Amino acid sequence: MAWVTLLGVVGIFPEPVGAQAEHPLTGRRIAPTMGMGGADWLERSERQNEEKPEEAIEAIGVKPGMVVADVGAGVGYFTTRLARKVGPKGRVYANDIQPEMLARLQDRLEAEHIANVETVLGTQSDPKLPVGKLDLILMVDVYHELSQPQRMLNHMKRALKPGGRLVLIEYRKEDPSIPIRPEHKMSAAEVKTEVEAEGYALTEVLRTLPRQSIFVFRKLPPM
- How confident is the model over 60-105, as pLDDT tens digits? 999 999 999 999 999 999 999 999 999 999 999 999 999 999 999 9
> How far, in Å, are 6, 115, 159 from residue 152 at the CA level?
24, 27, 11
Is a pLDDT exceeding 50 seen at residue 15?
A: no
The answer to whether 80 and 112 are in contact (CB under 8 A) is yes
DSSP state of 30: P
CA distance 18 to 176: 31
Task: With a cut of 90, say whether residue 23 has pLDDT above it.
Answer: yes
Residues 6+ apart with CB under 8 A from 134: 67, 68, 69, 93, 159, 160, 161, 164
Which are the contacts of 82, defined by CB distance < 8 A and separation ≥ 6?
A: 57, 62, 68, 70, 92, 138
pLDDT of 164-206, one tens digit each?
A: 999 999 999 999 999 999 999 999 999 999 999 999 999 999 9
Cα angle 117, 119, 122 (rounded to 5 degrees) comes to 145
Q: Which of these, 171, 164, 152, 141, lies nearest to 72 by C-alpha position?
A: 141
Average pLDDT over residues 110-136: 98
Whether pTM > 0.75 for this model: the answer is yes
- Of 130, 125, 133, which is closest to residue 153 (Cα–Cα)? 125
Asked if 211 contacts 50 with a C-beta cutoff of 8 angstroms, the reply is yes
CATH topology of domain 26-219: Rossmann fold (3.40.50)
**pLDDT higher than threshold 60 for residue 159:** yes
In this prediction, residue 19 carries a pLDDT of 80
What sections of the chain are H helices per DSSP?
A: 39-42, 47-51, 53-59, 79-86, 99-111, 149-159, 188-196
- Please, which pLDDT band fits residue 149 given cuts at 50, 70 and 90? very high
What per-residue confidence (pLDDT) applies to 223? 76
Alpha carbons 79 and 69: distance in angstroms, whole number: 8
* Domain ranges for the chain: 26-219
Indicate whether 10 pLDDT > 70: no
CA-based nearest residue to 169, from 201, 198, 122, 137:
137
The DSSP secondary-structure symbol of 11 reads P
pLDDT in tens, 30-70: 999 876 665 565 666 677 878 899 999 999 999 999 999 99
pLDDT of 214: 98
Cβ proximity of 166 and 195 under 8 Å: yes
